[in-house]
Structure 1
Amino acid sequence: MGFTEEHRKWVEDHISRRTGERRGRLERGHGHGERMFVEKVWWPMMGHFNDLHPEYEVLDWRGWPYFVDFAWKPGQVKFAFEVKGYGPHVQNTDRTRYRQELNRETYLQIAGYRVVAIPYDDLEASPENTIFLLRSLLMPYLALRTEEKEAFSRLERDILQIAVRSNGDIRPVDLVRELGIDLRTVRKCMRSLCEKGKFKPIVSQVSGRVCRYEYVHSLNDIQLW
């Protein structure tokens, strides 16, 4: 699928799992600048929205909710991306609000987030520059040795990608339907992936057979596609 369809599904999925102000903030806050970021930077750079959370709520030091434009949380890594225009952040005449914003950014770092400001003007004029900077910044967290990537077949990488989209658990029958392959091939691939530590077989208490597989998350898997 292309960006438009994947973006729609991604936003709708997050909206469906939220209530109250968390939902309202996403419906109101995911505007033009945020969409430009995911369309012109994140999607060309990553090709998916795995572990990226729009309008992500973080409680500040007073326990008040604060929403960052995007939080990226693969594994134990936490990044906060903020799309910032020139007017609201440089020419802000509300000095109290400006001071609070700076304090919140400091608190985000205390809470373990690496805070990254994304210039709005660059998203319009030179998104490739933002892609270059972000790729350089994130590369240490995405690094994957060539031999590790080659340890997985194309079919195994497809299965890993499906597992990520399915929130971790997959059934053999789902793979048969989605990949158009026979059950014997699915079982062979899943045995291989279990041996490589990518899945854990879940045995049915009723039949005693493997009914599904639990995906073992790894930050490096983002580079397997």
Structure 2
Amino acid sequence: MVFAEEHERWLTHHMDRRMGERRSRLERGHGHGERMFLERVWWPMFGQLDHLHPEYEVADWRGRPYFVDFVWKPGEVKYAIEVKGYGPHVQDMDRVRYRQELNREIYLQIAGYRVVSIAYDDLESNSALLMTLLKSLFMPHLAISRPGVDGGYTRLELDILQLAIRTDGYIRPVDLVRGLGVDARTVNKCMKSLCQKGKFKPLATKGNYKVHRYEYIPSFTDTRLW
């Protein structure tokens, strides 16, 4: 799937799940710089937008809502990614706003986020350098997102397997949609793939053929998935 198609599907998915100010903020905040970051840096690295949340709402140290350009949650780790242009972030910023922004970044790290600031100018002139730096930062996740590694599992398939290992072995698609932040179509595609690989068995609702949950099939090699 090409970037434009996937970006539209991904953005529509997040838009449909929001209401009020959260939806309005996504409409206003996801602009040219954010899209350029996805197209020139993120997409060439990952080839997908799973686990990436645009205009993600968090509370600052005062309890006030604040929207991060992107939050990436590939597993237990959380990254807060900000695309910063010279004008709005430096040139026109007074000292109070500047201090608030620095304090907000510190608070995000206290809240468990790893903060990544992206310079808009580098997106235009030096996106290759950004990819090199981010690949080093994200290497633990990139290493297991490529097909053919760890038995051919994708990053999302590994997340589902790890979740099954930590729970009672039964997985419902609706829980994966809510817990992993991906849409139902992606979940169904991954579960079909995992069933073909012999890792899950679909369990249909009694009286019809609709699959309502999956049973995890363990093996001794799964210890390397932790």
Task: Name the SS for the 1:8 alignment partner.
Answer: helix
In the TM superposition, structure 1's runs of 4+ consecutive aligned residues that sit over 4 Å from their partners are: 145-148, 212-216
The answer to whether the Cα contact below 8 Å between 2:10 and 2:49 also exists between their aligned partners in 1 is yes
Q: TM-score, normalised by structure 1?
A: 0.73
Q: Does 1:71 align with 2:89?
A: no
Q: One-letter code of the match for 1:170?
A: N
Structure 2 unaligned segments of length 5 or more: list them. 159-172, 174-181, 217-226
CA contact (8 A) 1:50 1:165 kept: no
Q: Please name the residue that 1:170 is paired with.
A: 188
> What's 2:203 paired with?
202
Q: 1:10 to 1:147 in 2, by over 3 A?
A: closer
- Residues 200 and 11 (structure 1 numbering): CA distance in 2 closer, same or farther, change over 3 Å? same
Q: 2:207 corresponds to which letter in structure 1?
A: V
Q: 1:98 aligns to what SS in structure 2? A: helix
Q: Distance between the aligned counterparts of 2:130 and 2:147, measured in 1?
A: 29
Deviation at 1:34, TM superposition (A): 0.5
CA distance in 2 between partners of 1:48 and 1:146 (Å): 11
2:211 aligned with 1:193 = no
Q: CA deviation at 1:54?
A: 0.6
CA RMSD of aligned residues (A): 3.4
- Give yes or no for contact 1:170–1:212 (8 Å, CA) kept in 2: no
Give the secondary-structure state (helix, strand or coil) at the position aligned to 1:170.
helix
Q: Report the Cα distance in structure 1 between the residues aligned to 2:147 and 2:119, rounded to whole angstroms.
A: 37
What is the distance in 2 between the residues matched to 1:146 and 1:10? 20
Q: In the comparison of the two structures, how many residue pairs are matched?
A: 193
The match for 1:221 is: none
Cα deviation digits, residues 26-57 of structure 1 (max 9, x gap): 00001111111001111111111000011110
Counterpart AA for 1:12: T
Aligned residue runs from structure 1 range 118-157, under 5 A: 118-144=118-144, 149=149, 151-152=151-152
Give the C-alpha shift of residue 114 in structure 1. Answer: 0.2
3-state secondary structure, aligned to 2:144? coil
How many Å apart are 1:5 and its aligned residue? 1.1
Query: Is the CA contact 1:68–1:82 (under 8 Å) kept in the aligned structure 2?
Result: yes
Aligned partners of 1:19 and 1:85: how far apart in 2?
28
Cα offset for 1:118?
A: 0.4
Runs of at least 5 residues in structure 1 that lack an aligned partner in the other structure: 176-185, 217-225
Letter aligned with residue 203 of structure 2: I
Whether the 8 Å CA contact 1:168–1:214 is kept in 2: the answer is no
Give the counterpart letter for 2:76 in structure 1: Q
Match status 1:211 vs 2:211: yes
Q: 1:203 to 1:93 in 2, by over 3 A?
A: closer
CA distance 1:214–1:18, shift in 2 (3 Å): farther
